[in-house]
Structure 1
């Protein structure tokens, strides 16, 4: 089948030895705590990996193309070589900052402050005990004082993966949710990456993506979990067939003002899938494909963001595009526009320039995989689609951006 052929092509493109030593950094966060009235700075936090064998870390960078210091890094916090910080998150009240990591301690709370000029400054990072759980991926903070974290590596087994439940007040690990596919091939957790929660319905969903070494195993499902009991309710196929190795990477349970659907992106499938909520069963019905990336020459579907106007932004790492859809008539998706970023288009933040232009900044890098690792951040005017500025972190600093977040609270809309 086509996806299997694409997967074989992918394996031919990349050196397996190279892949075996790379862990998978994608992204993630929920942002129900986004406040559209919050005045955001035009400086942003980025997680980064070093290209020269030096320490990986977090940095503060100016991203307003109209600013004289556009593209300049004003503060850095080193976490250590090989830590590979993965994604930045604020807690529910936006008064604590965290980063997940693929190595090191897998999860850190980050202390920040303002310098004498009122600019954001990185101070320190405190490791958080994740127990046996490895390869930190996405976080989701709930209103009841918990947060959940996906661990793609689980305890390190071949078909492993877990979800950690933490106390958001003291960062203590409360429970590890495990459900090996070996125990029940119909309901399981394996290689979880994406996570989303609908608290009103008491439901959580996680994706089954790919083994951390990128070669030992591939997922093609999403699993629904009871938010109170942590029992698995159902595992859904998110692929054309049981043998289609689509690798769902992000999931979004629409909630609040939005129609009650689950959306999922498939990394290797290059598609967008949807499942309606069923009030009778109190679960979601089967997933169906609503956007086929291959028909548009698109692949490696990654992140989803929804703004306050029912617009869905989806990044496609290959060839580096952000598609903007109208979701006001789900399950129908209406394509509104296509924004051009760089290869590896991944995470996004939304803000206004000092002159009031509404822009999206796109972080362009996926795993430092060849042809998906531009190492740039593109700042694009949403209305016109014009690229107002590009920062090349690879050539300027010898680093690659892994994720991006605001310095004055979340700078994106609903994300997970």
Structure 2
């Protein structure tokens, strides 16, 4: 299985948008050190930390570097740019988007140096990023300008981080084609399209969504808004979307946070859009809820986290629209983001960050390191108890630690 990316893969990264091939180098220093976004549980600053995740390392669970961003910043998701030479974090508070400066110490250990806020204009509550090959990046803002049914997409210049455009399409203007509470985003550059989800109002109570919206990548015009729910009144809250591309079957996949399901839509080469979404996996039949993140390796394996009760399901997607369940990995409540790497002894593992917005019963505050082949948990770090923090997201220190995410 090939999951790990490092800086030797830059050429491949530039060729395949947001798909990283494996040139895993077992001799690369500190290949099992990872960045985590975290929130403080003690009323102190939230920030980013470097943590060792190899259970075979003597310093397993040790935080070697921290960068404080401020009280209430709530850093949310870490991303590398297209060349993997710049690191960013989105945030639910504070300035919503930051570029992170890092260095290596004399031992080659990653070190966090500083964070530079990026002007996001009127856009609030930063969620996901997607970098394209043409020098842009896109960011979903679940809060938009702050209205009860708001939400927006920011288009940025990747060279200078300047906001180029804010894409808005209020549901009040057109209830059939709109952007509201966008969270997940995925792009297929070859086809010139992107899709965002409609998830939930940032306060988690004012409103919820049940759709995904397809846009033209270049004109920013809306092409279609799709129902991703059992009915118009089913507030399923689609959270992540993935437009499969390259060598993979040409489908759109979406996870529903409150539905707890996986949905699929085939690409239609005639209309140049996707056909209707249908449910391909019903989480409730497996005792699962809160379907969240999707990761794909280069062997057509799909990893999906289910925050309740804390599982990662591994599927075969080589015969879509048939989705074959291969195995179930047990993490902790709040299973969310993942990173993939090899331990010092060569075991293929996935580390799962177990926390979703500190929601009760979905906020274990741990990181589980699981051997993929056997399903055995090799180690667990309890950040709540050990450091008084909750992990919010996780990313590699030598470049993106996944093959395909969004």
Q: TM-score, normalised by structure 2?
A: 0.95
DSSP-derived class of the 2:315 partner: strand
1:105 and 2:107 matched: no
Q: Match of 1:49?
A: 39
Aligned to 1:402: 392
Partner Cα separation in structure 1 for residue 183 and residue 20 of structure 2: 22
Alpha-carbon contact 2:368-2:379 (below 8 Å) kept: yes
Match in the other structure for 1:60: 50
2:23 matched to 1:37? yes
1:341-378 Cα offsets, whole Å, 9 max, x none, are: 00000000000001100000000000111110000000
In structure 2, list runs of 5 or more residues that go unmatched. Answer: 1-15
C-alpha deviation, 1:34, in angstroms: 1.9
1:148-159 alignment, distance < 5 Å: 148-159=138-149
Q: Report if the CA contact (8 A) 2:368-2:380 is conserved.
A: yes
Which of 284, 297, 301 is 1:307 aligned to?
297
Cα distance, 1:31 vs structure 2: 7.0
Distance 1:194 1:296 in 2: 24
d(CA) in 2 for partners of 1:371 and 1:241?
27
- Judging changes above 3 Å, is the alpha-carbon distance between structure 1 residues 410 and 233 closer, same or farther for their aligned structure 2 residues? same
**What SS class does the counterpart of residue 356 from structure 1 fall into?**
coil
Give 1:137-152 correspondences, 5 Å limit.
Answer: 137-152=127-142
Point out where structure 1 has 5 or more consecutive residues left out of the alignment.
1-29
Of 164, 172, 186 in structure 2, the residue corresponding to residue 182 of structure 1 is 172
Structure 1 segments (4+ residues) deviating >4 Å: none
User: Whole-Å Cα distance in 1 between the matches of residues 174 and 42 of structure 2?
Assistant: 44
Contact (CA 8 Å) 1:195, 1:252: kept in 2 or not?
Answer: yes
In structure 2, the partner of 1:388 is 378
State whether structure 2 residue 326 is matched by structure 1 residue 336.
yes
| Alignment match, 1:130 | 120
- Please give the alpha-carbon distance, in whole angstroms, between the structure 1 residues aligned to 2:67 and 2:95: 15
- Which residue of 2 is the match for residue 246 of structure 1? 236
Number of aligned residues: 387
Partner Cα distance (1:176, 1:32) in 2: 22
Q: What is residue 227 of structure 2 aligned with on the other side?
A: 237
CA distance in 1, matches of 2:339, 2:213: 28
Distance, in Å, in 2 between the alignment partners of 1:32 and 1:186 is 30
CA distance in 2: counterparts of 1:393 and 1:138, whole angstroms: 24
Shift of 1:33: 4.8
Aligned to 1:18: none
Shift of 1:35: 3.4
Partner of 2:287: 297
- Is 2:325 the counterpart of 1:352? no
RMSD: 0.9
- Aligned partners of 1:326 and 1:336 also within 8 Å: yes
Question: Which secondary structure state, in structure 2, belongs to the residue aligned with residue 194 of structure 1?
Answer: strand
* 1:327/1:333 contact within 8 Å kept: yes
Mapped partners of 1:184, 1:369: distance in 2: 33
Report deviation, 1:32.
2.0
**Partner-residue secondary structure (3-state), 1:377:** strand
Equivalent of 2:251, from 261, 269, 273? 261
Aligned counterparts of 2:214 and 2:403: Cα–Cα separation in 1: 23
Structure-2 residue corresponding to 1:210:
200
Counterpart for residue 10 of structure 2: none
- Given the alignment of the two structures, is residue 277 of structure 1 paired with residue 267 of structure 2, yes or no? yes
Q: Is the 8 A contact 1:34 1:409 kept in 2?
A: no
Contact 2:18 / 2:131 at 8 angstroms: preserved in 1?
A: no
- Please say if residues 134 and 156 of structure 1, whose CA atoms lie closer than 8 Å, have aligned partners that are also in contact: yes
Q: Using the alignment, how far apart are the partners of 2:326 and 2:78 within structure 1? A: 29
Q: Offset at 1:116?
A: 1.1
The alignment status of 1:219 with 2:205, answered yes or no, reads no
